[in-house]
């Protein structure tokens, strides 16, 4: 992978460590639930611990950095959440043995940047919380944004197999890491061997197979994440035979990027909904550098120059180049864009 930005190597290493940490928490759900007395707490512990570990890695490499992310440590400072706080600190200490509780909490709080700066990072420590709790797909997503453009993105998918024959609802023992930088393409590694030789990632043509033109579409397991009825209307309008695959998180971008699927549509479930930058930055760059096209539902490029939200965009369409334009035309013809 040819890229001179040292930030990319740091990001890959940090995400690889974070994937190992998240996998360890996921593999110890019952014990974490016992400690914290909360059925959902394992994903909360992984969320906060991964955020702290990645922030510490970036600070070690670059000093103080600006990071926009979702999590803050406010509730961890309360007595009510002492069990979760203690579990988070225990996990972080598996990587940084001498770290204090306050250092962990301060690292978590470092992701409070409102994203007006010319250069900053954005982080989603555990994207796909329900997938995490089911033992299925989730992602650790880290990206760097400069002047409103995503310049590098790294996404760890701890349960996603590089072997396409493995079902998405089965956790892979190795996982996968995807990385991209502007102009350098997209690449993949086993998550447990990031220093190994990377393999290039290329999107498929989207032409489908057979006379009926089959198109392979990624959808969320959770129907609440996207208006799936709109996706169905669009594909019916195009008279395509559709093969659906269901998985959580930004892993869907990677599945399109590597040519295992032809499209991923995120159709807003309510009018006026605006996406968070950390939910799309890393995945978008990985997909586009692999040859896919990523826009909003009107065909406009995703605009990361409006703070922590994609305020200039509505919805997301990620697809192989030969399919993307047809999807956007269908959305316009059906009047769907006007409703989101």
Question: Of these residues, 129, 231, 288, 297, which one is catalytic?
Answer: 129
**Among residues 310, 313, 314, which one has the least CA distance to residue 269?**
314
* Measured distance CA(303)–CA(170) in Å, rounded: 34
| Helix runs in the chain, H state only | 6-26, 29-36, 41-62, 82-92, 101-109, 129-134, 228-237, 251-257, 281-289, 321-334
Question: Of these residues, 10, 36, 44, 47, which one is catalytic?
Answer: 47
Say which residues have a Cβ less than 8 Å from residue 79's Cβ, sequence separation at least 6. none
Q: How many helices (H) and strands (E) does the chain have?
A: 10, 12
Task: Give one DSSP letter per residue of 308-326, joined into a string.
Answer: TB-TT--SEEEE-HHHHHH
Instruction: Residue 37: count other Cβ atoms within 10 Å of its Cβ.
Output: 9
CA count, 13 A, side-chain hemisphere, 6: 5
Tell me how far apart the terminal alpha carbons of the chain are, to the nearest angstrom: 39
Active site residue 114: no
Active site residue 47: yes
Q: Which two tokens stand for residue 43?
A: 């994903």
**319 and 292 in contact (C-beta within 8 Å)?**
yes
Q: Which two tokens stand for residue 78?
A: 């309360």
* Measured distance CA(136)–CA(169) in Å, rounded: 5
Which residues form the catalytic set?
A: 47, 129
């Amino acid at each position: 992978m040819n890229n001179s930005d040292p930030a990319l190597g740091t990001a890959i290493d940090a995400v690889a460590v974070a994937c190992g940490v998240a996998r360890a928490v996921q593999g110890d759900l019952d014990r974490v639930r016992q400690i914290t007395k909360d059925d959902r707490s394992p994903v909360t512990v992984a969320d906060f611990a991964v955020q702290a570990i990645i922030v510490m890695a970036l600070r070690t490499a670059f000093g103080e950095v600006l990071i926009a992310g979702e999590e803050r440590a406010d509730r961890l400072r309360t007595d009510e959440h002492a069990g979760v706080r203690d579990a988070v600190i225990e996990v972080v200490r598996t990587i940084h043995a001498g770290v204090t509780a306050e250092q962990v909490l301060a690292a978590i709080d470092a992701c409070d940047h409102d994203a007006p700066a010319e250069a900053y990072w954005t982080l989603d420590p555990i994207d796909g919380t329900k997938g995490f709790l089911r033992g299925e797909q989730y992602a650790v997503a880290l990206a760097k944004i400069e002047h409103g453009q995503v310049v590098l993105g790294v996404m760890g998918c701890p349960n996603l197999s590089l072997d396409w024959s493995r079902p998405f609802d089965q956790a892979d023992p190795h996982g996968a890491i995807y990385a991209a930088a502007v102009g350098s393409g997209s690449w993949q590694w086993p998550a447990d061997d990031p220093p190994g030789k990377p393999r290039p990632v290329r999107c498929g043509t989207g032409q489908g197979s057979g006379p009926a033109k089959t198109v392979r579409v990624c959808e969320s397991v959770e129907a609440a994440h996207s208006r799936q009825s709109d996706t169905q209307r669009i594909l019916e309008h195009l008279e395509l035979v559709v093969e659906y695959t269901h998985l959580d998180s930004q892993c869907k971008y990677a599945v399109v990027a590597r040519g295992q699927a032809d499209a991923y549509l995120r159709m807003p479930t309510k009018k006026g909904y605006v996406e968070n930058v950390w939910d799309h930055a890393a995945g978008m760059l990985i997909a586009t550098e692999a040859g896919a096209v990523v826009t909003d539902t009107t065909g406009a490029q995703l605009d990361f120059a409006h703070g922590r939200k994609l305020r200039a965009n509505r919805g997301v369409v990620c697809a192989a180049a030969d399919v993307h334009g047809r999807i956007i035309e269908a959305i316009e013809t059906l009047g769907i864009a006007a409703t989101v």
